[in-house]
Amino acid sequence: MGTIYSHSRLSSFENCPKQFEFRYIQKIPSTSEGIEAFVGKRVHEILERLYVFVGRGQIPGVEKVIDRYQKLWEESYDAERVRIVREGTPLSYYRELGENCLRGYYLRHYPFDDAETLGLERRVLFPLDSAGKYRMQGIIDRISRARDGAIEVHDYKTGARVPPQRILDQDRQLALYQIGLSREYGEDTPFRLVWHYVAKNRICSSTREPEELVSLRETTIQRIDEIEAATTFEARKIALCNWCEYKERCPLHATPETLARLEAEEKAVAEAAALAKAEDDRQLDLL
């Protein structure tokens, strides 16, 4: 069985092949996280929890939701690991951003009865081809059945930028999820792709024609073929370089001193692992 792809795996290759190489081929663990990603994860966790309670018929009050967010922040925040990339922006700004996203979402959707929730943070795994050679996976923030019968694929976004409709109409991620879910809900079931730009309190949606999904399957398979055939991975400066967890070791950004330090650290780790293995082997021989 070949590699299972995801939208983020494909995007990483498209944005910067070198980042893709660091992350998915060399599998270099990430030791830091941008504050924006940290806030996004907390907001997702709280919304998931909120809908679990809604499903039980126990809708918490908005202040309870915000309290839970604040506690989760305290439990999860690690100043050593979470980076504020935009210099001069205080931590409190991001903490309040998450709170405002949740408050706005809650007040807009209360009492959460506009659709029946069918899944929360649901993993989908599906083939793009009939032979099952090209497989995709993803985690869907929320799946619901709307009053008009459409299956809705929801995605929460905490970023400030709301893309224009023409970009959303070509969005790959949620359309791929539709391909995965149509195996479960039926090819003829109407679907709606829904983005919640919670920082702006805006909801955007889009639908796909069957031929657009066929074309998406084909272009995604082509992209996977291109990735699998790649032997070199060029570094490509992008707007998000400052958020890249590999910037320190990137050939376009790293200083010779940093590269030498990383090389020495990695050598020390490899030597320690070799010593530990030798000791394990010796102990086994004694048994």
Euclidean distance between CA atoms 35 and 244, whole angstroms: 12
* CB nearer ligand SF4, residue 64 or residue 237: 237
Output the smallest distance, CB 184 to ligand SF4, in A: 35
> In the chain, where do the E strands start and end?
4-6, 33-34, 82-83, 115-127, 135-146, 151-157, 191-197, 202-206
- CB-based contacts of 72, cutoff 8 Å, min separation 6: 42, 45, 46
Q: Does 252 bind ligand SF4 (CB under 6 A)?
A: yes
Could you say which residues in the range 12-31 bind ligand SF4, by CB under 6 A?
Answer: 16, 18-19
Residue pair 60/53 in contact (Cβ under 8 Å)? The answer is yes
Binding mask 112-141 for ligand SF4 (x = CB under 6 A): ------------------------------
Residue pair 127/179 in contact (Cβ under 8 Å)? The answer is no
On the CB side of 55, CA atoms within 13 Å amount to 14
> Which one among 253, 259, 261, 262 touches ligand SF4, defined by CB under 6 A?
253
* CB nearer ligand SF4, residue 213 or residue 259: 259
The total of other beta-carbon atoms located within 10 Å of residue 133's CB is: 12
Which residue is it, tokens 């809650």? 106
Could you say which residues in the range 225-244 bind ligand SF4, by CB under 6 A?
Answer: 235-238, 241, 244
- CB-based contacts of 173, cutoff 8 Å, min separation 6: 7, 138, 155
* CB nearer ligand SF4, residue 240 or residue 268: 240
Q: Does 10 bind ligand SF4 (CB under 6 A)?
A: no
Output the smallest distance, CB 85 to ligand SF4, in A: 12
Q: Does 151 bind ligand SF4 (CB under 6 A)?
A: no
Of 52, 66, 185, the closest CA to residue 124 belongs to: 185
* CB nearer ligand SF4, residue 214 or residue 238: 238
* CB nearer ligand SF4, residue 85 or residue 272: 85
Of 70, 6, 30, 65, the closest CA to residue 247 belongs to: 30
Output the smallest distance, CB 236 to ligand SF4, in A: 6
Euclidean distance between CA atoms 132 and 125, whole angstroms: 11
* CB nearer ligand SF4, residue 123 or residue 236: 236
Total of residues contacting ligand SF4 (CB under 6 A): 14
Q: Site residues (CB under 6 A) for ligand SF4?
A: 16, 18-19, 235-238, 241, 244, 246-247, 250, 252-253
